[in-house]
Amino acid sequence: MNLLITGGAGFIGSNFVDYILKHHPDHRVLVLDRLTYAGGLDNLTEADGNPRYRFIQGDICDRGIDDELVADSDLVINFAAETHVDRSIQAPDVFLRTNILGAQSLLEATKKHKKRFIQISTDEVYGSREEGGFTESDPLNPSSPYAASKAAGDLLTLSYHKTYGLPVMIIRCSNNYGPRQYPEKLLPLFIVKALSGERLPLYGDGLNRREWTYVEDNCRAIELILQKGEDGQIYNISSGIELTNIQIIQEILKLLGKSEDLIEFVPDRPGHDRRYSLSTEKMAGLGWNPLYNLQRGLKMTVSWYLENREWWEKRL
Ligand SMILES: NC(=O)c1ccc[n+]([C@@H]2O[C@H](COP(=O)([O-])OP(=O)(O)OC[C@H]3O[C@@H](n4cnc5c(N)ncnc54)[C@H](O)[C@@H]3O)[C@@H](O)[C@H]2O)c1
């Protein structure tokens, strides 16, 4: 099997590349990544030198590249995206370009060459809810330009299935955490700020709730969906571990032996969703169970940032 992994130089994509090369000696991996600020070849050092791995720098919005690379692959897994909500509030254009037009360009190439397409998406497309978890058939109600652009990517993906019969699946993940997450996202930002002795800017009252999945569990779930999922279907992935932002920060500070006095409440992000939660019954039906509890996942994550100061210092 030849996998085209777009966005494979980013956080989840690079973890997925390592996972596939390690667990599937019969698979070849081709990474297409534009190497924006969020991507780095230093995320792919484990894959480097492996004869089953190849890297191409390029933009998923480039029809020519998509056409050429999809022709050589059996399956496209689209991790490539602009992903930071705060940036989408400041400058939404690039989010629409990559997350919508880029996805569509890949879909066109996949249709032309009669391949299979997997769209990696997010719990944020459903919007906020006070209680219970969203199922895959719930309507989309995105709040930020980021979430709206991902929702559009999902709808386009489904439209290619319904209109052209393209084999597609959509995977909606909850918050991931683990090694190599860019230090603008909540967890790595607070880890590196705490390590640098800086204040930790926490939005609003800190009581927004999120579900946290360790990235390796997320990769295992994607693998299972590739093996057992059905075309035209959407799958939610989440550990179900739900915490307020302040709770997860307290856990991190405990692990680092730092004082909670570092936390500084700052004005809330506009349109900040209060709570995300996913029903994972469908994944349970495929036989998926997360292996990492919060303690173990956070320990692995914090240790990685402690041991890889050079990686994050050059990203500050
Ligand atoms: N990180 C999370 O917690 C999370 C949660 C739910 C869903 N997701 C989704 O998972 C996917 C991966 O997220 P991530 O956190 O690894 O993101 P990331 O920001 O770490 O990486 C994104 C990668 O995409 C690349 N990229 C951006 N624009 C591109 C373009 N036009 N052409 C080619 N490559 C481009 C970047 O260079 C980078 O390597 C995204 O689709 C995101 O929406 C992430």
Q: What is the pLDDT of residues 49-60, one digit of tens each?
A: 999 999 999 999
Question: And the tokens for 125?
Answer: 């497309």
What is the percent of the chain with per-residue pLDDT over 70, rounded to a whole number? 100
Confidence class for position 245, pLDDT limits 50, 70, 90: very high
What is the percent of the chain with per-residue pLDDT over 90, rounded to a whole number? 100
Cα 4 to middle of ligand 1, angstroms? 15
- What is the predicted pLDDT for the residue at 65? 98
- What is the predicted pLDDT for the residue at 268? 98
| Pocket flag, ligand 1, residue 59 (CB < 6 Å) | yes
| Pocket flag, ligand 1, residue 43 (CB < 6 Å) | no
- What is the predicted pLDDT for the residue at 192? 98
Q: What is the pLDDT of residues 69-119, one digit of tens each?
A: 999 999 999 999 999 999 999 999 999 999 999 999 999 999 999 999 999
Going from N- to C-terminal start, the domains of the chain cover: 2-176+213-237, 182-210+241-276+292-313
Q: What is the pLDDT of residues 25-44, one digit of tens each?
A: 999 999 999 999 999 999 99
> How far from chain centre, in Å, is Cα 185?
11
Radius of gyration of the chain measured on its C-alpha atoms: 19
Cα 72 to middle of ligand 1, angstroms? 22
Confidence class for position 315, pLDDT limits 50, 70, 90: very high
CA distances from 280 to 45, 176, 211, 290 (A): 33, 15, 12, 11
Best residue among 5, 15, 79, 278 to mutate for probing ligand 1, ranked by most atoms within 8 Å of CB: 79
| Pocket flag, ligand 1, residue 13 (CB < 6 Å) | yes
| Pocket flag, ligand 1, residue 33 (CB < 6 Å) | yes
Nearest CA to ligand 1 atom 27: 81
- What is the predicted pLDDT for the residue at 66? 98
- What is the predicted pLDDT for the residue at 239? 98
Check if the beta carbon of residue 272 is closer than 8 Å to that of residue 203. Answer: yes
Best residue among 4, 5, 6, 11 to mutate for probing ligand 1, ranked by most atoms within 8 Å of CB: 11
| Pocket flag, ligand 1, residue 175 (CB < 6 Å) | yes
Check if the beta carbon of residue 21 is closer than 8 Å to that of residue 27. Answer: yes
Closest atom of ligand 1 to 59 CA is 32
Mean pLDDT of 16-21: 98
Average predicted confidence (pLDDT) for the chain: 98
Check if the beta carbon of residue 18 is closer than 8 Å to that of residue 47. Answer: yes
In this structure, CATH architecture of domain 2-176+213-237: 3-Layer(aba) Sandwich (3.40)
Cα 84 to middle of ligand 1, angstroms? 9
| Pocket flag, ligand 1, residue 126 (CB < 6 Å) | no
In this structure, CATH architecture of domain 182-210+241-276+292-313: Alpha-Beta Complex (3.90)
Residue 30 exposed, middle or buried by CB count within 10 Å (0-12, 13-18, 19+): buried
Closest atom of ligand 1 to 9 CA is 39
By annotation, the residues acting in catalysis are 123-124, 146
- What is the predicted pLDDT for the residue at 211? 98
- What is the predicted pLDDT for the residue at 190? 98
| Pocket flag, ligand 1, residue 213 (CB < 6 Å) | no
Quick check: pTM over 0.85? Answer: yes
- What is the predicted pLDDT for the residue at 89? 98
- What is the predicted pLDDT for the residue at 312? 98
Cα 6 to middle of ligand 1, angstroms? 9
Confidence class for position 296, pLDDT limits 50, 70, 90: very high
